[in-house]
Each structure stands twice: as structure tokens, then as C-alpha cells.
Amino acid sequence: MVGTGEKLMNGNRIRIRGGRIIDPSQGMDRVGDLLIEDGRIAGYDAAPSGGETVIEAAGCIVTPGLIDMHVHLREPGREEDETIETGTAAAAAGGFTSLACCPNTEPPLDSPATVEFVRQKAARARRCNVFVIACVSRNREGKELAEIGQLVQAGAVAFSDDGAPVENSELMRRAFEYCLMFDKPLLNHCEIPELARRGVMHEGKVSLVLGLAGIPAAAESVMVSRDIALAEATGGKLHVMHVSTLGSVEAIRRAKARGVRVTAELTPHHFSLTDESLRSFDSNFKMNPPLRSEEHVRECIEGLRDGTIDVIATDHAPHSKEKKMQELDRAPFGVVGLETALGLVITRLIKPGILSWSQAIEKMTANPAGILGIPKGTLAVGADADVTIIDPDVEWTVDPSRFYSKSGNTPFAGWTLQGRAKTVLVGGRVVYPFAS
């Protein structure tokens, strides 16, 4: 199914009129018109020339297309949870024009053929740009390196075994060295398995009261420190996925001060919720890393505010209803996030004044683009016309039955959020709202 912008694609000039244009890559925050010609940004505020398609944006925020650098599309192998088509539709509905998908599929994305499969399926879906994060190790087993060079040639933009950490420190060191040859980042799910084993939630007072096995904060922060040490020793580029503990934030902050090439991300569920949510025994609050206590959440938000944490990413992890409707200790970890992320950022961070619009948009556009080394996240003249138009004031209620994602495992069902994507363009073509 194509977007309503298919008819716009037949014309070659579009004017997005009267919006507040925020582009952190250019230090831009101004009200005006954005011009698109032949799928690229053509300029600002030029006089109308006739024959233009006009998209009214008065009262709206116009930004570079949002980028989510941590998404699980599940295909190939787990199409009962999500497909590339449904996942990219959810991304477009959430305001995202680009995403990077993780390699924990079945089979894993550890060969040029699997990377090419995802890229071709995404191209046919025509919803948004999909960039592939390939495996660090063969079959994600952590025993030997994947063919990094061949995967880069196939189009991989980064490397990770996400869903599981790279446990072997020697393998991790060599991965940094190989990725450095191609200037690619290494993304790690930081967790010491021996410390986290059998845990279902954050280890603390709430887990003690509920009688549930806990995952200590040290399970994350110890491996973050190890990875920082290896990145420092090799000169490699480390990106810490889904930070959740104050110890991790402090370690990243110190490493950045020393000049270590480390970046980090925070998810909306980790800045919006605490482990108190597990008192409901609802498996939609079960994710890995787990929801932490208030002190950890406060420090993670402070890390966002002071720039220690560079990126807001969703860790969109869809699971079918049948899988999530199990006892808490049996249900899989993970929640969906593509369609709620923008509303949570506006409601929980921008409206309370924790982040400015420019700071928040930078963490969802220019910063992930820079980390992944992709030519996105900007409205500079000549750039691809990937644009997100946001209505900052609209109120809406989260209803999983209306998600475009194939799964509805969200912890935010019933929440009232403020702000959401109104129109989304990819390469000058409207991909959201979808054609009826």
C-alpha cells in the first residue's frame, strides 16, 4: 500500500508552509516555509512559483525525519510478532523516516544474503528507510567474529549481537579493532549474564516485596565499564544501548570527559516508568534491561539533559499477544515503542522543560545519524527530503488496537499523550497518513 503522497511524487515541487522549522544539524529554529523539489530539500521561503503542492504546517513543528536506531523488525523468522512491512508502517505512523534494525532474527543477520533480504523487503514496503545492524559474531553465538568486511559491503551500518551481550572480552576487543577499520560503531546490550540470570525485574525493594527474582543494576554497569575500557584501549566506537542505571550514566560521563569514543541511548519506557509498575504483574512492563527504581530513572533523565546520553531510541520489541499473556517469569522481555515514542518525548520531556524542542529533536535526528554514519537527520539544502511534521498540542489516548505494528505489547495503554506526527515524508513522498 502506498502513501497519500504518491500523487505528490508526480509533481516535483512541494511547499511546507508556515511551520516552526527546527533543524539542530544547522542550528535552525525559525518559522517559515520549507521547499522540496525532486525529492530533496530545495530551500527556504522562496516566492511561490505556481504549480506547487502546499502542505499547511502553521502551528506545527517541522523537523528532519526522525531516526530510531534501535528497532526489532523480527523478520525473517518471527513474522507472528512483526514483519518488515508492519514494523515500517508503525515507524511512519510514529514520525520516523529512518530506522536501524537489530540482527536477532531467525536466521540472524550475519551474512550478506540476510542483510540484502532485509534491505529488499524494506524497499518493497516503501514506508521508511531501513538500515541494517549486522551481527558481531557468527549466528550471534559469541564464539567467532562475523565477516565484518563482507557485511559492510552488503550495507551494514553498525554491528551488535543485541538481544544478548558480547560476553567474551577478547572477541569484543577484536570486534572493536575490525569495526575501526571500517569506521563503524559497535552497539552492545550491556549485561553480565551471570548476574542477570533468571531475573524478571529490577533487583530492589519492589522485587523483594513481590518475591520476584531481580536483575541488579551492576549487571549492566559492570559491562558498560568493561566496554568503555576496551573502546579506550582500541580507539573503537562504542554505543551503549538502552542505558538504565545511574552507574552506567556516571561511567559514560567520565569516559566522555576523557575523550573515549562512546555514545549512549535511553528509551521512552526507561525515562517514563519505574519498577513500581511491576506491582501489577503485567508482562507488558517486563523488558530488558528492566524498569529501574526512581533514583536510576532520575539519573538517566539527567544524563539526557546534560548530553551524556546522546540518543532517544525505542528498542521496539514486538511480541504476539499469546507470548505476552503468560506468567511474568515465562513471558518474553520487550515492549513496542515506535508509535508512542514521540508522544512520550513531548509529554514527559519537552512539556515539563527537561529538554528543549531542539535538544529532543537532535537526539532523534542528527545524533543517531552521526553515530550510524548515514546521510540523514538534516534539512540542509540538497539533503533527502525526509521530513516529520509534528502537531505539538494534539491530545490522544494510546490504544494498542489501533497500532500499525502487528503487536500491541505496550506499557502505555490508556495513557493520554500530547503531540504526535501529523505528516511524514520520505524522499519528498508522503508516507503518513496512509492512503485509505
Rounded CA-CA distance 428/189 in Å is 35
Cell numbers describing residue 353 = 522543560
DSSP states of 209-226 as a string?
HHT--EE-THHHHHHHHH
Q: Cβ(242)–Cβ(189) under 8 Å?
A: yes
Given the residues 68, 161, 315, 384, the one annotated as active site: 315
- Gap between the Cα atoms of 353 and 406, Å rounded: 34
Q: What is the DSSP string of 42-88?
A: EEESPPP-SS-EEEE-TTSEEEEPEEEEEE---TTT-TTT--HHHHH
Q: How far apart are the first and last CA of the chain?
A: 9
Interatomic CA distance for residues 110 and 430, integer angstroms:
33
Burial category of 269 from C-beta neighbours within 10 Å (exposed 0-12, middle 13-18, buried 19 and up)? buried
Are 378 and 306 contacting, i.e. CB atoms less than 8 angstroms apart?
no
C-alpha cell belonging to residue 237: 566506537
Report how far residue 206's alpha carbon sits from residue 130's, in angstroms, rounded to the nearest whole number.
Answer: 39
Q: Tell me if residue 315 is catalytic.
A: yes
The cell for 137 is: 559474531
Active site residues: 315
